[in-house]
Amino acid sequence: MKARIPGAPQGGNMMKKIQEMQENMTRIQQEVEATEFSSSVGGGAVEVVVNGAHEVTAVNLKPEVVDPEDVEMLQDLIISAFNESIRKANEAMEQGMEKAKGGLSIPGLF
């Protein structure tokens, strides 16, 4: 007796669907990793740009935010912008992976 997974394609079509899904996931992952995500905080005083691989590609600071008497504020702004950029990159990756799965759901795997 063959086991059937609810909601999964049956027969040889299932392997083809899984292979297509893996190819889509790889393609989408590469696309997201090449995409840049930016966030600015402090009214645009600090901007951080990261790619989908979570590598910082740019940090832009407006001169007025650089106050030697308040370094902690600048540090907090940079951290905030960086974290928001990473959140955007993660969200894009998650959405891409969901799209790549194409509605295929195999309990325990996806």
Domain assignment present for 70: yes
CB 38 within 8 A of CB 86: no
Domain assignment present for 79: yes
**Statement: the pTM of the whole predicted model exceeds 0.85:** no
Domain assignment present for 84: yes
Distance separating alpha carbons of residues 48 and 76, to the nearest angstrom: 12
Q: What DSSP string runs through 58-97?
A: EEEE-GGG--TT-HHHHHHHHHHHHHHHHHHHHHHHHHHH
Q: Which residues of the chain have pLDDT under 50?
A: none
Q: What pLDDT, on the 0 to 100 scale, is given for residue 19?
A: 87
Into how many domains does the chain fold? 1
Q: Give the CATH number for residue 67.
A: 3.30.1310.10
The boundaries of the domain holding residue 48 are 28-94
DSSP 56: E
Q: What pLDDT, on the 0 to 100 scale, is given for residue 5?
A: 56
Domain assignment present for 33: yes
